[in-house]
Structure 1
Amino acid sequence: MGLRNWLFGGSKAQVPKAADTEAPNGKSDDSIFGDIIDIPSRNFIGLSAKSPNRRFSIAWCDGGPNQSRAGRYILLDRGKIVAEGKMARPNDGKVTDNGVFILNDWGDSESLSGVFAAFRPDGSTIVVRKFSANLYNNGLSADGTRAVCQTANAPGGDGNLLTAFDLIHGNELGAWRPESGWARSYEFSEDGNTIRLIYPERGGFLYSVDGKFIDRMKWLAAGLACGDLRTVETLLAETDNAPPYPLVQQLLEALKVALSAPVNNSPNARARILRFRGICFEAIAESRAALEAYDEALALDPKIGVKRKADRLRKVVL
C-alpha cells in the first residue's frame, strides 16, 4: 500500500500541494492548508501543523512500525522548503512563529522506545532525548524557548515521565511523574519557570519546571468536586485513614457524587465507594453509619477488605 493510500484509506481525496520555492510575487503558495501536505518534487506526503501566525509549516511522514516507508520531516517557510531531515517515525510536530519546531519519534514496534527532538529553523538540532518508553505527546512554548514531552506507561525509570527542556541552551530542566496524570496540552509562563497542564474536564494546573506541583490543592479540590475516587483515596492515605472532621464532610460529598456517576455502577466500584464512606464515618466516631457502609460494601464484594472492621464495629454497636 502506498503512502497516499495509507493516509487516506485508499480514497482519491485531493491533497493540497506545497511549493518548493516561494511564489514569484513573494507570497506563499496558498495551497498549504489543513493537516496534509503533498510535495510531489520530494515524493513527500504527510501530516502537518502550522505556526500560530501561519508562516511556518512542519510536515512529517511516519515510516511505520516496520519501517516500510522512509520516515521524513520538512519545514516550510511561506511555502518554501527551508529544512528537511530523516527520522524513523516522526509524529506530533509543532512549530512556533519563529520556526523552532519539535517532533516525537515513536520508535520501532519491537520495544518500548521514543525520541524527543527539537530543531532550529535551519534544521539544526537543539536537543535530543531518548526514552525507554513510548512517547504520548509534547508541547512547545509560543516563543520557542521551552518544550515538554510526556511518555506513556512503561516499566523502569522512563514510564509516565514528563520532561521539560530549555531550548535556548539545549538542556533538560527537569523530569517528573505528574500527580495529575497525562495532560491534553501544555501552556508555558512568559518567564519559562512554570508549565500549566491542561485537562478538558478539570482545567489547568501549574507545575514548576523542576516538577513541583504548585496547584496541588486546586487539583485535589477539583477531584473532590467531580467525585474522583483516586483523589479520595489519596487524601485518606495521607491522613492515615483518620481525616479531620472538615475533610470528612468534603470526602462524603465527593463520595455522594461518585455513587451517582454511571462509571461507578459496577459492584466492585460501588463497594469501593462504600468502603471509603465507612472509613470517613469511623473517623468521626459515627460507628453505626460506618458499620452500615461496611456491610453494604461486603454484600457487593466480600473481598473488599473491610470484614474485620465490620466485625469489630458490630461488637461496639450491637
Structure 2
Amino acid sequence: MGWFNALFGKRPPGPPPLPSTAIPVPAVVEDRFFSLEKPQWFGPSTCSPNGRWLISWRDSDPSGSTGGARTRGKGAYLLYDVAGKRVVLQGRLERPNRGHVADNGTFVLEDWHFANELAGTLYAFDAQGHKLLARRLSANLLGNAVSANGRYAACQTASSSTDDSVRLFLFDLASGQQMFAVRPSADAWTMDLAVDESPVGVIAHIKGLGAFRYDADGTFLDQVELEQAGLARGDYSRVIRMAETLVQREGVSPAQLREVLTAVQRARREGADDDRGWAAAALKVQGLAYEALGDAANAMAMYEQALSINPKAGLKRKLAALQKRHK
C-alpha cells in the first residue's frame, strides 16, 4: 500500500506530536547546540540547507539526569521553525541521535535503543509529525542523511553478525521503500553522507580525499577517482592498502605501477617506516610492483627487507621462486 499512500498523500500515523508553540520562542544556537527557555530545552542540532528548519534531539531521560546507554527514560526531539521562531512539534524516542532536516521540514533521526544488542532504527518524519519511515536494522547505526527536498534518506551501519552488517542504505521516503543496501568498499567508507535527488544517489564525503558517488542502484561510480585521490593525498595506511589492491589487479599498466611506487615511497617517508607492521606492508607492495614491472632485482630486495621485519609477510615462496629463476 506504500504507492497508494504516496499517490494520495496519505501517511501512516506516527506518535501524536505535542502541540506546537503558538507564540514566538527566542532560541539560541551555539556550537551546534540549540537551547530554549520555554519549553526548556538544550541539545545538539542541525539546520536545513535553506536555514528554515532546525532539528534538535536529546539522548537523556526527561529529567536530563541519565543519558547515553540505559534501560529506560526516553529521550526527546523537537522541530523548530527558524523563520517563525516557534517549536513546530516534539516527540520521544528511546535514544534519539544524529538528526538531519530537509528544506521542507522532513527530518531523520537514529534511535540507538535501550537494549544492549547491536541494533538501531532509522526514523523519518514530515514537518507535521507523520512517520514516513521506521527501519529497524540489526547493526549499530553510524550516520545518516536526508536529501535537500526531503524525498530520500540514507544511512550506514557498523559491523554485526547479521545481513545488516557494514551496509549503506538508501530509502525513498515517498513510498517508504528501500532502494538499495550495499556493502561499500573499505576505501569508500565514511560517516559523512549526503543524498542527491537529481540524479538520485548517495555522496560519500571522505575527509582529505573528496566526494565520491553511489548511483540509485547502489553502484559505486568513482572507484578510479577514489584510488587516484587515495594515492595522492591519503595517509600512509590508506596509501599502502590502496596500493596493494591496485598492484594485484589484473591489467594494471606500467604507468599505474610506477604511480604506486611513488605513492608508497611517500607513505614510508610520512610515517610507515616508523611502524614495523606498515613498513613491512609497504616493502611488500613495492616488491609486487617491481616484480610486475619485470625488475626482479629490486623485487627480491624489497621482499627480503619485508621478511626481515615480518617473517610472516607471506613472501617466502615468491622470493624463493624469483631467486630460482634469476639465480
Same fold, TM-score > 0.5, yes or no = yes
Query: Which residue does 2:53 correspond to in 1?
Result: 56
Query: Which residue does 1:14 correspond to in 2?
Result: none
Cα deviation code 1:235-266 (max 9, x no counterpart)? 23432xx7442322122122212211215521
Secondary structure (helix, strand or coil) at the match of 1:288 reads helix
Name the aligned partner's letter for residue 216 of structure 2: V
* Aligned-pair CA distance for 1:229: 1.6
**Contact 2:272/2:279 (CA < 8 Å) preserved in 1?**
no
CA distance in 1, matches of 2:98, 2:314: 44
CA distance in 1, matches of 2:292, 2:45: 55
* Aligned-pair CA distance for 1:203: 0.3
Question: Does the C-alpha gap of structure 1 residues 235 and 84 become closer, same or farther in structure 2, counting only changes over 3 Å?
Answer: same
Query: Which residue does 2:283 correspond to in 1?
Result: 274
Query: Which residue does 1:238 correspond to in 2?
Result: 249
Query: Which residue does 1:193 correspond to in 2?
Result: 200
- Higher relative contact order, chain-length normalized (CA < 8 Å, sep 6+): 2
How large is the RMSD of aligned CA atoms in angstroms?
Answer: 2.3
**Contact 1:32/1:79 (CA < 8 Å) preserved in 2?**
no
Cα deviation code 1:258-279 (max 9, x no counterpart)? 2112155211211111111111
Question: Does the C-alpha gap of structure 1 residues 38 and 202 become closer, same or farther in structure 2, counting only changes over 3 Å?
Answer: closer
Give TM-score, length-normalised by structure 1.
0.84
CA distance in 1, matches of 2:282, 2:115: 39
Mean Cα deviation higher: 129-138 or 79-88: 79-88
Task: For structure 2, list consecutive stretches of 5 or more residues without a partner in the other structure.
Answer: 1-18, 61-67
Query: Which residue does 1:74 correspond to in 2?
Result: 78
Secondary structure (helix, strand or coil) at the match of 2:188 reads coil
Query: Which residue does 2:226 correspond to in 1?
Result: 219
Name the aligned partner's letter for residue 21 of structure 2: T
Name the aligned partner's letter for residue 224 of structure 1: L
Identity %: 32
Question: Does the C-alpha gap of structure 1 residues 169 and 192 become closer, same or farther in structure 2, counting only changes over 3 Å?
Answer: farther
Name the aligned partner's letter for residue 56 of structure 1: W
Query: Which residue does 2:7 correspond to in 1?
Result: none
* Count of matched residue pairs: 294
Question: Does the C-alpha gap of structure 1 residues 292 and 67 become closer, same or farther in structure 2, counting only changes over 3 Å?
Answer: same
Name the aligned partner's letter for residue 197 of structure 1: A
Cα deviation code 1:67-95 (max 9, x no counterpart)? 45321212222332322222101001111
Query: Which residue does 2:256 correspond to in 1?
Result: 247
CA distance in 2, matches of 1:126, 1:234: 41
Task: For structure 1, list consecutive stretches of 5 or more residues without a partner in the other structure.
Answer: 1-18
Cα deviation code 1:151-188 (max 9, x no counterpart)? 12222211211101112222211111221433242333
Q: Within 5 A, what are the aligned runs for 1:1-318?
A: 21-23=21-23, 28-34=24-30, 35-38=32-35, 44-63=41-60, 64-77=68-81, 78-108=84-114, 110-179=116-185, 180-226=187-233, 228-239=239-250, 243-318=252-327
Runs of 4+ in 1 over 4 A off after TM superposition: 38-44
**Contact 1:58/1:74 (CA < 8 Å) preserved in 2?**
yes
Give TM-score, length-normalised by structure 2.
0.82
**Contact 2:120/2:139 (CA < 8 Å) preserved in 1?**
yes
Secondary structure (helix, strand or coil) at the match of 1:54 reads coil
**Contact 1:184/1:200 (CA < 8 Å) preserved in 2?**
no
Question: Does the C-alpha gap of structure 1 residues 38 and 193 become closer, same or farther in structure 2, counting only changes over 3 Å?
Answer: closer
Cα deviation code 1:198-257 (max 9, x no counterpart)? 112100011102211111111111122236122122223432xx7442322122122212
